[in-house]
Structure 1
Amino acid sequence: ALPARAAASAASPPPPPAGASPGALNPFDRRLKRKQKNWAALQAEPAKCDYLREEVGGRIADRVFDITRTFPLALDVGSGRGYIAQHLTKETVEKLIQVDIAENALKNAVESEIPTVRVVADEEFLPFKEDTFDLVVSSLSLHWVNDLPKAFKEIHQVLKPDGVFIGAMFGGDTLYELRCSLQLAELEREGGFSPHVSPFTAVADLGHLLSRAGFNTLTVDTDEIQVNYPGLFEVMEDLQGMGESNCSWNRKPLLHRETMLAAAAIYQEMYGNSNGSVPATFQIYYMIGWKYHESQAKPAQRGSATVSFGDLAKIEGLLKRGKK
């Protein structure tokens, strides 16, 4: 979802793997993403660039706390270094399994008071039996999945009936300042531009994808987090430290120095703050979906209402009379 820093040359995407949904796209080099996340987790101070992940992880945990029950077994899909787990308590989640494609991220995970098992696995191919987990969470990982419909179906499958999925992923307006600055700079210096921001799922599609995967009682909402940086180069440096460099197959392998300098100047001119810093906007999609169970409340049948909306005007009139 984020800008290119890869030095390796871009290659043609292979066909979707066996088991992918019919017509599934294959926009991301998942092997490169694993390398990027492993590299970020091995830095001397990996927590220095984790501020965004920790913030969103905390917001996911708040949504877990809003559900007044204890979850005996939970799964964190794309857990990274454990950005959700550090905010949870063992009174809410009794046991947690963390899954990520990057083994170094799991090895350097933040300690949590919850008994935890860590498993290296792909988010699209969860190695668990059906009806295993009471809760599945995921924070800022699913935007790198090639086959999102399949990933949602996998999550739905491993949930127990009446289990809940709570997730967050980057939205389409993420880093629009950086994207516009790079495109304008490339047009000016190179006469054309290449994609530097990976494709996102539109918020309007999320509800449909979750429903198609089998979830019900859906909630989808959006939020924005704005972070201020000294300049464009610091934005890109922190994105690399987050393991969020672009891994699209059609990414441009290198950015010319002159183009980068021009982009930094455009960024400052178009979006700069009065104190000389520049903002970077991260749009977050939050989603909650439940796996069906017969004990769940069901919507009333169409036509079963005993009061019409037209009667609301009469009620308002009666209330006004009562006040008199």
Structure 2
Amino acid sequence: MSSGLCLRVLRGSGSAPAASSGSWSRFLSRSGARRGLSGSNSGTMNVFNREMKKRQKNWAGSLQDGQQYDYLRDEVGSRVADRVYDIARTFPLALDLGGGKGHIAEHLSQVQPVLYPSSEIPTRCVLADEEFLPFKENTFDLVVSSLSLHWINDLPGALKQIHQVLKPDGVFIGAMVGGETLYELRCSLQLAETEREGGFSPHVSPYTAVTDLGNLLGRAGFTMLTVDIDEVQVHYPGIIEVMTDLQGMGESNCAWNRRSLLHRDTILAAAAIYKEMYGSEDGSVPATFEILYMIGWKPHESQAKPAKRGSATASFGDLSKISQPTNSNKS
């Protein structure tokens, strides 16, 4: 998946089909959603080597069999599209931020295929950096993003730019990888490296915690926020297949403090630990991807506003005193 931005004009709303589960060695399972709460502040840190990430994505995008690694993006893209369908309005001009192969747009284009075939949707692709959006203020009715924002160093700044390019009453719907992603892989590598080498270094990139996301959206200027969590669990034959697929997705670690190489003995030990701690009865091992979904609106005078404090005319304590309505038709 190459890096960049994809601007697509889309119309309508509806329901999306589920994405396929990928190749024979993997199958997806979904846990129940959990509600996230906004939390503490998060400062700007230069955590990721953006040039390294660009090279990783370009390499993954050049693979002839690269489509076999798209299963996670297809699945999350369909779930982002579901959230677009839940909004009963049309969006004349939309931006797919970090659109790549169009994993969101392919589901949105199925809304009215007869009225507006997907091949005829006016589309303009722009190659740019997600941290520096080349668009004017108040341009888009909708901005969507799927599995792109978690590699941004200045996430607060990126969210502010998204807010800026939206029109008033425009909506941002995004999905990004959360902090509990790949905890099985992270734990197995840390235990193996500590055992074999007397210490460990990070081999899985740090991700944003759900407790920070609501606050970041609020600081960027969004209102009527929704933040929720989903988990996508993919089963693999072993740890090597997990790491191979991450590389094929362009999702390998690009943190500045990463360690570039792992000793063979450490990998073998990590594989054994992975199987022992997390292995399934069928011999496969799970890799859990925590996906954070977010919805935020740009303020507009037409939006509902909270009532002033103390303006209520009834108390929740009086609810028990309300009598049941009588049935006037009762004979």
**For 1:57-68, what aligned pairs fall within 5 Å after superposition?**
57-68=77-88
Q: Equivalent residue of 1:310, what SS?
A: helix
Asked if 1:275 is matched to 2:282, the reply is: yes
Q: Which amino acid aligns with 1:30?
A: R
Match of 2:154 in 1: 147
Asked if 1:39 is matched to 2:59, the reply is: yes
Match of 1:106 in 2: none
**For 1:3-42, what aligned pairs fall within 5 Å after superposition?**
24-42=44-62
Q: Distance in 1 between matches of 2:239 and 2:217?
A: 35
Say if 1:204 and 1:229 are closer, same or farther in 2 by CA, change over 3 A.
same
Q: Distance in 2 between matches of 1:24 and 1:60?
A: 26
Match of 1:56 in 2: 76
Instruction: Note the alpha carbon deviations across 1:256-290, whole angstroms, 9 max, x for none.
Output: 11100100000000000001000111100000000
Q: Distance in 2 between matches of 1:282 and 1:189?
A: 27
8 Å CA contact retained: 1:86, 1:112: no
Q: Distance in 2 between matches of 1:164 and 1:57?
A: 17
Match of 1:175 in 2: 182
Query: Which of 181, 195, 207 is the matching residue for 2:202?
Result: 195
Q: Equivalent residue of 1:44, what SS?
A: coil
Unaligned runs of 5+ in 2: 1-41
Q: Which amino acid aligns with 1:37?
A: K
The alpha carbon displacement at 1:81 in A equals: 1.4
Q: TM-score, normalized by length of structure 1?
A: 0.84
8 Å CA contact retained: 1:69, 1:92: no
8 Å CA contact retained: 1:85, 1:112: no
Q: Which amino acid aligns with 1:32?
A: M
Q: Which amino acid aligns with 1:134?
A: D
8 Å CA contact retained: 1:65, 1:92: no
Q: Distance in 2 between matches of 1:55 and 1:122?
A: 24
Instruction: Note the alpha carbon deviations across 1:78-103, whole angstroms, 9 max, x for none.
Output: 1121110110128689xxxxxxxxxx
Instruction: Note the alpha carbon deviations across 1:166-214, whole angstroms, 9 max, x for none.
Output: 0000111100000000000001100000011212111111111111100
Q: Distance in 2 between matches of 1:185 and 1:258?
A: 9
The alpha carbon displacement at 1:313 in A equals: 2.2
Query: Which of 208, 230, 237 is the matching residue for 2:215?
Result: 208
Once the two structures are aligned, what percentage of the paired residues are identical? 73
Q: Which amino acid aligns with 1:288?
A: I
The alpha carbon displacement at 1:223 in A equals: 0.7
Say if 1:320 and 1:176 are closer, same or farther in 2 by CA, change over 3 A.
farther
The alpha carbon displacement at 1:116 in A equals: 1.2
Instruction: Note the alpha carbon deviations across 1:134-174, whole angstroms, 9 max, x for none.
Output: 00000011000000000000000000000000000011110
Match of 1:10 in 2: none
Say if 1:91 and 1:231 are closer, same or farther in 2 by CA, change over 3 A.
closer
Match of 2:145 in 1: 138
The alpha carbon displacement at 1:114 in A equals: 2.6
Match of 2:167 in 1: 160
The alpha carbon displacement at 1:319 in A equals: 3.8
8 Å CA contact retained: 1:89, 1:113: no
The alpha carbon displacement at 1:320 in A equals: 11
RMSD: 1.9
8 Å CA contact retained: 1:76, 1:137: yes
Say if 1:229 and 1:23 are closer, same or farther in 2 by CA, change over 3 A.
closer
Match of 1:87 in 2: 107
Say if 1:139 and 1:23 are closer, same or farther in 2 by CA, change over 3 A.
closer
Q: Which amino acid aligns with 2:294?
A: M
8 Å CA contact retained: 1:222, 1:284: yes
Say if 1:193 and 1:210 are closer, same or farther in 2 by CA, change over 3 A.
same
Query: Which of 93, 115, 119 is the matching residue for 2:122?
Result: 115
Q: Distance in 1 between matches of 2:103 and 2:80?
A: 9
Q: Which amino acid aligns with 1:54?
A: D
Match of 1:256 in 2: 263
Asked if 1:239 is matched to 2:246, the reply is: yes
Q: Which amino acid aligns with 1:73?
A: L
8 Å CA contact retained: 1:134, 1:159: yes
Q: Equivalent residue of 1:289, what SS?
A: strand
Match of 2:91 in 1: 71
Q: Distance in 2 between matches of 1:309 and 1:239?
A: 51
Q: Equivalent residue of 2:316, what SS?
A: coil
Say if 1:257 and 1:291 are closer, same or farther in 2 by CA, change over 3 A.
same
Q: Equivalent residue of 2:180, what SS?
A: coil
8 Å CA contact retained: 1:90, 1:113: no
Q: TM-score, normalized by length of structure 2?
A: 0.82
What is the total number of aligned residue pairs between the two structures?
282
